[in-house]
Amino acid sequence: MLGLLAACAHAETAPTPPQSAEKRIALSFDDAPRAPGAFLTEEERTRLLIANLAEAGVDQAVFFVNPGQIDGADDEARIASYVAAGHVIANHSATHPHLSQADAAAYLADIDAAEEWLHGRAGYRPWFRYPYLDEGRQDKAKRDTVREGLAQRGLSNGYVTVDASDWFYEGAAKRAMAEGRAIDRQALHDLYIETQVDAAEFYDQLARQTIGRSPVHVILLHETDLNAMFIGDLVRALQAKGWTIVSADEAYADPFADFAAVYDTPSAQGSLTEMVAWEKGLPAPRWYRGNDTDLAQEWFDTRVLGLPHERND
């Protein structure tokens, strides 16, 4: 650890290396198996997501699984279908708790419960993604206890570098459907694609400013209806901006992963890009503006539902 910190300190004073134009990103999906969404059954979602990933040429994405949410053989079969299609699975805890609201020992036990289901299955990878990207927030002792627990278990941090709150638009669409509102699906598609691509561009620029290069990124997505319907178009939109889609295996082999177990910030929650930028003193904003759910709701209301929206600022 001391060697890594020394290397990081040296990197801060060394000349900035030339920045490569190459931009690479892996796709990750949280919360599998997820409950029904706004438009599809769970089985339809899985079939469509697999088909659209294949059609877009995505050979390997990673699905972070909550085994505590598995309810019967159908849910197990959906997870197995992702693996059969070439994708991999990893640990997202059993029951999706907030670390900042949990006892560290209980939190690690929840990880163990998920690991018991996952370990040894086809497609398994020893990665753990913190639910809500919550790594303990201001409680550094709890943060470090869980970091040590992960290391003892041979698990590495399944971090993200790009986050545009994709989950928010699924929830907004579901609420609008329940309220009987007319959803402009093309506008929803366009807003969704736009925000995810904008976030990728934002975080890549932040990473280049922070470490002097573009790491292999990991985008945070969820196993939602919107991703099942739109993932192919999202891949093509990213490619149009110069991005190459790579495997999760390639992403987590990037040296940027070394920061995940050692970064030290006043509060630990968010993308690794944000955390490292904060640690190195880059000024705010260090996170994509669309993660402000009030702003995201405004975009959804005006563009997807066609509602007027009065700003209070």
pLDDT reported for residue 4: 33
Q: Does 285 sit behind a cis peptide bond, omega within 30 degrees of 0 on the bond before it?
A: yes
CB 100, CB 145: distance < 8 Å: no
pLDDT reported for residue 189: 98
Task: State the Rg of the chain over Cα.
Answer: 19
pLDDT reported for residue 21: 72
Residue 212's nearest CA partner among 10, 4, 5, 2 is 10
CA 8 to chain centre: 25
CB 154, CB 126: distance < 8 Å: yes
pLDDT reported for residue 309: 76
pLDDT reported for residue 310: 66
Burial environment of residue 174 by CB neighbours within 10 A (0 to 12, 13 to 18, 19 or more): middle
Interatomic CA distance for residues 244 and 150, integer angstroms: 30
Residue 19 in tokens: 């920045």
Cα-based distances in Å from 52 to 30, 44, 226, 276, 296: 17, 12, 12, 33, 26
Amino acid at 61: A
pLDDT reported for residue 20: 57
Residue 258 in tokens: 């070394």
pLDDT reported for residue 7: 35
Domain positions in the chain are: 22-304
User: What does the chain come to in residues?
Assistant: 313
Residue 90's nearest CA partner among 54, 110, 58, 115 is 115
CB 266, CB 138: distance < 8 Å: yes
CB 167, CB 224: distance < 8 Å: yes
- Over the chain (313 residues), what is each successive 10-residue block's mean pLDDT? 34 40 95 94 98 98 98 97 98 98 98 98 98 98 98 98 98 96 98 98 98 98 98 98 98 98 98 98 97 98 92 49
Cα-based distances in Å from 161 to 2, 20, 65, 203, 228: 24, 18, 19, 7, 21
For the domain covering 22-304, report its CATH number: 3.20.20.370
- Full-prediction pTM beyond 0.75? yes
pLDDT reported for residue 1: 33
